[in-house]
Structure 1
Amino acid sequence: MHPSLFSLPAEPGRESEDACAIGDGLAVVVDGAGLPKSSRRGCGHAVAWYARMLAEAFRVRLEARTTMMTDALAAAIAEVTAAHSDTCDLGQGSPSATVAAWRVVGDHVEHLVLCDASIVLIGADGTPREITDDRIDAAVERRAAQLAADAGIGEAPAEMRFAALDQMRNVEGGFWCAHTDADAAQRALAGRTPIAQLRAIVAASDGGTRGFQKFGAHSLDDVAALAADGRLAEIAAQIRAAEDAAGPLPFTKPHDDIALVTATF
């Protein structure tokens, strides 16, 4: 069994900040956080570089089936941090990312999600279940509202929301993602499912799930049916059509990178 992969950048000719790494019975999706340079001013590396490095480092460690997925991710984060800690002032900011991964171990499939990337488990009867950690939205909205209130304004502007994002990353009461702190990996959502109970599994960046999460392009059931048939490009086309129809929305990217990796059983 080998994964099927589909990736599409947000804009033609632009490098995707999503990265995928696949192996024998395993897949990794890393969604690099497209933050302004001010939020990663201590590092000269691109977000895409961080995503690629982390995806490959995580994939290599997942090959050892006796290593827990959270431990493999922690080691991968530590490796990438060490790779540029001598050349960059990471205390002043660094690229970060969300992660979704799965791997086959014996007669089970293990999964891991860190932050708002997603795993979709598609049951043998076609019923889907999405696994994602959406604490980021609530944490940032809460902190941004506090900053706006402290400043005596009604709605937090974009720069204040980015400040809230920085302040709530990898702290208690906030949200957890891949950054420079390897211990964040232990906050990932992880589990395992018997293969006999599954028709397929999908790992997706949040660009690959925004069709049903934000834009009403399709339902989770629709996505599950298309993914189980390997029709990943159709999922992406529906997302792009819905993004275009929606037009500009506040604090929402008009288009996002899309990464989807699936396998059927």
Structure 2
Amino acid sequence: MRIEIATEPAYADRPNEDFVAASPNAVVLLDGAGTPAGSDSGCVHGVAWYVSRLGVSLLAEVTNRPDEPLADCLAKAITQTAELHRDTCDLSHPGTPSATVIITRLREHDIEYLVLADSSLVLDRSDKPAYVTITDDREAQVGAELRRPMDAEATGTQAHAEALCTYVEAMRAHRNRSGGFWVAAADPAAAHEAMTGTFTRDKVSGFSLFSDGASRLVDRFTLSDWTETLTLIRDHGPAEVIRQVRAAEHSDPDGKRWPRGKAHDDATVATVTL
């Protein structure tokens, strides 16, 4: 396989809380989540630390245990990461660092996948339909009503910051519980709530993994559809997707056209050609 990766933090002076890595038969992409600035998370390390440790552990599990179900690999990686800071941090805190997860693993005849929370996996098929998108939208469904007060305020204002904190607090009540949504945090049980499946390799010409900071070109800004985005990647590479996302964000700094929690977000695209 041939893999191309593009990743960019939301701001040059802040750490990138996305993580992406690959081995000869696997790709993992994580998108970290924590608390708004000034809020307590119970963790002294921060989101970027958590995501990098979880990502490294996860890629090792997926690669070194090729016959282990992906959900079991994720559960083990969550457990291993929790053990790294259980003695220093309050892992029961509702704001403990967490992450969305995408895993893809190539086998002789199949492509295995796992998707947990709101990052997106898009498969470029060699027959009809031209592509298949796999996104865990449970968080978006839960947040649709809760985010309305935040979306009514201009991004970057004090009113928006306060509404964002209220929204995050409200979402915590639904995180990692039945009827809500699931993310990788400190409880390995969340791994078994992920979307999993397989595709036959000879029906897929390639696939791309998007953190939600990159997929917003399609699913929030609606400036492109997935067919156009896959063509954009083929013609210009994954960095062009991020460039267009940044151009859109800068054209709407106060979030009036596209209401959003973050004016800019970490953005990552990994694309694999088979």
In the superposition, the TM-score normalised over structure 1's length comes to: 0.90
Moved more, 177-186 or 155-164: 155-164
Provide closer, same or farther for how the CA distance between residues 167 and 15 of structure 1 changes in structure 2, counting only shifts above 3 A.
Answer: same
CA distance in 2, matches of 1:39, 1:107: 47
Alignment partner, residue 131 of structure 1: 134
Mind listing any 5+ residue stretches in structure 1 that lack a counterpart?
146-154
Matched, 1:241 2:253: no
8 A contact 1:39–1:162 mirrored in 2:
no
Pick closer, same or farther for the CA change 1:83–1:142 going to 2, 3 Å.
same
* CA–CA distance in structure 2, aligned partners of residues 170 and 53 of structure 1: 20
Cα distance change of structure 1 residues 224 and 251 upon mapping to structure 2, 3 Å threshold: closer
- Alignment partner of 1:3 is 2:10: no
Compared CA separation, residues 2 and 79, structure 1 to 2 (3 A)? farther
- How much has 1:179 moved relative to structure 2? 0.8
> Quick one: distance in 2 between partners of 1:242 and 1:187?
34
Q: What amino acid is the match of 2:262?
A: K
* Cα distance in structure 2, aligned partners of 1:160 and 1:108: 43
Unpaired segments ≥5 residues, structure 2: 149-159
Are 1:191 and 2:197 matched, yes or no? Answer: yes
2:122 and 2:99 map into 1 onto residues whose CA distance is 19
Instruction: Give the match for residue 66 of structure 1.
Output: 67
Please state how far the C-alpha of 1:13 moved relative to its aligned partner.
3.1
Q: Distance in 2 between matches of 1:191 and 1:95?
A: 27
Deviation at 1:251, TM superposition (A): 4.1
Comparing 106-115 and 245-254, the one that deviates more: 245-254
Matches within 5 A, 1:86-101: 86-92=87-93, 93-101=95-103
C-alpha displacement of 1:38 = 6.2
> When the two structures are aligned, how many residues end up with a matched partner?
256
Alignment counterpart, residue 257 of structure 1, candidates 247, 258, 266? 266
Q: Specify the SS of the correspondent of 1:16.
A: coil
TM-superposed deviation, 1:34:
4.4
State the TM-score, normalized to the length of structure 2. 0.87
Question: Where does residue 110 of structure 2 map in the other structure?
Answer: 108
- Please identify, of 6-15 and 53-62, the stretch whose mean Cα deviation from structure 2 is larger: 6-15
Identity %: 34
1:160 to partner: Cα distance: 2.1
Report the alpha carbon displacement of residue 143 of structure 1 after superposing the two structures with TM. 5.7
1:10: how far off? 0.7
- Alpha-carbon distance between aligned partners in 2 of 1:176 and 1:39, rounded to the nearest angstrom: 21
**Could you tell me how far 1:259 is from its partner in structure 2?**
1.0
Q: What SS does structure 1 have at the residue aligned with 2:104?
A: strand
